Each structure stands twice: as C-alpha cells, then as structure tokens.
Structure 1
C-alpha cells in the first residue's frame, strides 16, 4: 500500500451516503445556531424557552424557541457522530426522516395555540418537516445501495 510523506495510508473517499449525512447534519447545526442570532431570527426579543407564545421566527418564516433551536443543534450533533460510518449515516438519514415525518404528523394534528404546541410549530415548520422527512428517508433508503454496512456477511457471530 502506498503511503504519503508522513507514512500515513491514503485517505479513503467516503461513500455518498456519508457525505450527504454529514452535509445534512452540518445544516442542522447551523440552523440551530442561527436560531440564536438576532437578524436571522426576527422578533428575537420574543424568543421564549418553549411554547406557542414564542413569536420569534427564523428568517421571518419558521417559528422557533430556545427548545426548538436546541433540538436542531442536538439532532445535528448526533448526525455528525453517526455520519462517521455508513450504517450510522443510513440510520441518521432514514431514521431521522421517519422522526421528521412523525414530527410533521404531530405538528399537523396539534392546535397551534394549544399547550401541546410546546416546541413550537407553525405552518411553515410543518411543510418543512414534511419535506425533510421524505427527503431524508428517501436518501437514507436509496443512496449507495451498493455500499455495505461494514460487516462481513460470511463471518458468523458464533465462530471463535
């Protein structure tokens, strides 16, 4: 195997699914951080910890709260960790897509001014969650089907 000047093996190219999962995770981290930046978040003074009474909106469109921003940050950080492996990237995209479809259903079903809207969600959030859910699910299930999950199918668990 060829080595570079420092004696290291050449870096392997990541499969597309890992690159996409990494990009999605970075976007979630950025969105979570931008939710705390006045200017990107309109009515920043009305930012509440949680609940539908938070009138702050990311780019003037998506209703956010401190909890909402923290959830985006945590989701993105989890994605960064999971994107290090092919199986983790698939889990982040497909599992995260399924979670976002569940969030869309919840946001669609809850009354906007009720206590159940604790994150909070508005119509723009709901449409974005639907788009993210389907997009992430499709990417996680269909991207790089020719790339394995890292295990060897011919190595039985019960063998020494």
Structure 2
C-alpha cells in the first residue's frame, strides 16, 4: 500500500510548509518589496525631492548609494510581488530565481556598457547599482540551482512532526 504526503494539514487546510526553494523565493521577493518601499521614503532615500520618474537625471539615492527613480522603485516592487507569488509553487519559485537572476546579470552587463549620463540609462543605474546587480544575479541563479525542491524528512519533521516531509530532489 502506498501513501502520499500532502502539503496541507488535514485538520486546518492550511499549508504546513514551503519547499526550500519556495521559501527562498518568498524571502527574495519580500526583500525586493522592502527595497522598493524604502526607495519612496525620504531620509532612507537621500535627495528624495530630486527623484525623477525615470532616467539618469534622478539624483535620488537609496541609502545614499544607489541611484533610484520612481520607475526603479516600481520595478523593485513588481519583482518582489512576482517572487512572493512564485513562492506558492516550487517550479515557479525556481523559475523566478533563475530567470530573475539571468535578468539581473543582463542588467549588470547593460549598466557596464551604457554610460551613466546616456539617455539609454532610463532606469537609472550607477556604478553601485551595476555591481549590486552582478551579486544579485549570481546569487539568484545559484540559489535557483542549489535550493532543493523538497525538504528532507529530518527538516520537515522539525517543522511539522515526525510524519511530515519528503525526500530531497
């Protein structure tokens, strides 16, 4: 007789746990939402009154380091929402991390070849943004590749008791 394991509690109908890759997507998504919100907070964003809608003319700086605009902040918020939504399914969470990471690597290359004062620098991006995009891109791709799709039996037992879990895949 075979048994199947459900990701839902039979008593409450609520999710017992998320896979490690889904939890990672949730955390990364929440971090992007936080960064997007912080970009709209004066004080956390210096030169807030000089924030442009888009383009390299914005002199607003998140944490005094990263050049931001309204568009830049909205992109962070949108990416964050995608990460949170993707965390609801293991395959979507992995795809979010991989595709998002590749996109950030592309953005790093774009930032390296497009001059900061060019009209093509529409997001806007500065040197600090460029190097952060490299780290984010590599980190997201790496997490998307190495995070397991399921919890081990031992890890699941820690969260939901000895009958929960599954094998690492």
> TM-score, structure 1 length as denominator?
0.85
2:126 corresponds to 1:122: yes
Query: Residue in 1 aligned with 2:19?
Result: 15
| Cα RMSD, aligned residues only | 2.0
- State the distance in 2 between where 1:79 and 1:9 align: 23
Query: Residue in 1 aligned with 2:99?
Result: 95
Is the partner of 1:92 in helix, strand or coil?
A: helix
Deviation of residue 14 (structure 1)?
Answer: 1.3
2:50 corresponds to 1:33: no
Q: Is the 8 A contact 2:21 2:149 kept in 1?
A: no
- State the distance in 2 between where 1:13 and 1:132 align: 26
Query: Residue in 2 aligned with 1:133?
Result: 137
2:79 corresponds to 1:75: yes
Instruction: Give the paired residue count.
Output: 145
Deviation of residue 146 (structure 1)?
Answer: 5.8
> TM-score, structure 2 length as denominator?
0.81
- State the distance in 2 between where 1:95 and 1:124 align: 22
Point out where structure 2 has 5 or more consecutive residues left out of the alignment. Answer: 152-169
- State the distance in 2 between where 1:14 and 1:142 align: 16
